[in-house]
Homo-oligomer: A and B are copies of this chain.
Amino acid sequence: MLKIGMLTSGGDCQGLNAALRGVAKTLYNELGDKVTIYGIRDGYRGLIEGDYHEMLPEDFSDILTVGGTILGTSRQPFKEMRKTIEDSEETKLDKMLHTVKKAGFDCLVILGGNGTHKTANLLSMKGVNVVTLPKTIDNDLWGTELTFGFQSAIDIASTVIDSIHSTAFSHSRVFIVEVMGHKAGWLTLYAGIASGADVIVIPEIPYSAKKIAAAIEKRAKAGKRFSIIAVAEGAISQDEAKLSKKEFKAAREAMTYPSISYRIADELKELTGQEIRVTIPGHYQRGGAPCPADRVLTSRFGVAAAQLILQKKFGYMVALQDNHIVPVPLTEVAGKLKTVPPDGELVKQARALGLSMGD
């Protein structure tokens, strides 16, 4: 009897249930009743506290299109991931190892993003059999072209910008739509191109308010009375880019704006004399049903994760490379971020279309 523990960790994301279903259906299809799957509740919390329960094949029925995660999730257990883990954190890790041992899990299947993968790698290095699936709407996991959730989030963010578009046009106004993405601008870049934004501001390309204002004014001169600016929540200015990490942190802590878009709105108002509106779809971008593309992707990831288990190939994340699903060692993934190359193909294509990157 193979015993598999599954957990979903980190922020919400479309496709978690679809991915769980993919793993489970493949295992049941191959092993029948020779496998038992356990659901670990609320991510690593459940692993630390030994909160898990046996699941049945029917638990994975009818969840392909259901948003959220049937297992629950929680944020990262460790405040900061360092090479030297603190005492209290060591304790948490010990507790996880204890749960794995006590439950007799032959393998943990872990679905999560960057933080999750650091912990998954720690567990793997401690000898736990781990297979992971790359989950995040930010698409910023190293080693895979696509993470699941990303394509669903593009659909939502694009729909919001589309809608704002008609209002901006009717009112001859400048609108900022703030898109999720603290460290990586993938979602903003894709949604911005998809919905015809005029300016796209991403963390990887520090912005100049003057350059954004110039782009708006260039449009105004061409008779276009409105502009749409897609701003990633992790946007930073060119001045901020020159600061040390410490100085930057201090500067941001002193910032009174609820989020960066409001600051940019004020900067642009100063420069253009125009009122600038801000819309922030927020968590709306990460909830609800996965789009069909994510349902295919999660199904494929799920199959591949199950096959790694069947092949006793542990310590890997399943990844998409050149449209093939491949295993990537956790040691290569953990702690690495995949950000938008500022001179990459997609940014160049956006610029070729006449879009401003705010720089």
A303 at the interface (CB under 8 A from B): yes
A160 at the interface (CB under 8 A from B): yes
- Segment 294-353 of A: residues with Cβ below 8 Å from B: 295-296, 299-300, 302-304, 306-307, 322-325, 345-346, 349, 352-353
Question: In the complex where A171-B73, A194-B292, A352-B307 touch, is A12 in contact with B158 (Cβ < 8 A)?
Answer: no
Say yes or no: B68 contacts A167, CB within 8 Å: yes
Say yes or no: B295 contacts A64, CB within 8 Å: no
Stretch at the interface among A88-96, A113-121, A246-254, A283-291: A283-291
Say yes or no: B349 contacts A293, CB within 8 Å: no
A19 at the interface (CB under 8 A from B): no
Which B residues lie within 8 Å of A30 (CB)?
Answer: 352
Say yes or no: B167 contacts A64, CB within 8 Å: no
What's the Cα separation between A296 and B151 when bound, in Å? 12
Across the interface, A300 reaches (CB within 8 A) one of B145, B279, B286, B349, namely: B349
Chain B proximity of A168: nearest CB distance (Å): 8
Across the interface, A193 reaches (CB within 8 A) one of B164, B295, B353, namely: B295
Which B residues lie within 8 Å of A104 (CB)?
Answer: none
A272 at the interface (CB under 8 A from B): no
Q: Please encode chain A, from 9 to 33, with 1 for each CB lying within 8 Å of some chain B CB and 0 for all others.
A: 0001000100000100110111000
Across the interface, A163 reaches (CB within 8 A) one of B72, B170, B288, namely: B288
What's the Cα separation between A137 and B297 when bound, in Å? 19
What's the Cα separation between A306 and B22 when bound, in Å? 41
A166 at the interface (CB under 8 A from B): yes
Interface size class of A (residues with CB under 8 A): 35 or more
A127 at the interface (CB under 8 A from B): no
Say yes or no: B163 contacts A156, CB within 8 Å: yes
A267 at the interface (CB under 8 A from B): no
Say yes or no: A12 contacts B170, CB within 8 Å: yes
Say yes or no: B324 contacts A169, CB within 8 Å: no
Which B residues lie within 8 Å of A8 (CB)?
Answer: 170
Across the interface, A346 reaches (CB within 8 A) one of B159, B193, B300, namely: B300
Question: In the complex where A352-B303, A352-B307, A353-B26 touch, is A288 in contact with B166 (Cβ < 8 A)?
Answer: yes
Say yes or no: B300 contacts A155, CB within 8 Å: no
Chain B proximity of A321: nearest CB distance (Å): 8
What's the Cα separation between A322 and B320 when bound, in Å? 11
Seed contacts A195-B295, A279-B281, A303-B353; 11 additional CB < 8 Å A-B pairs = A8-B170, A12-B167, A65-B162, A68-B166, A154-B293, A162-B288, A191-B292, A194-B292, A279-B283, A280-B282, A300-B346
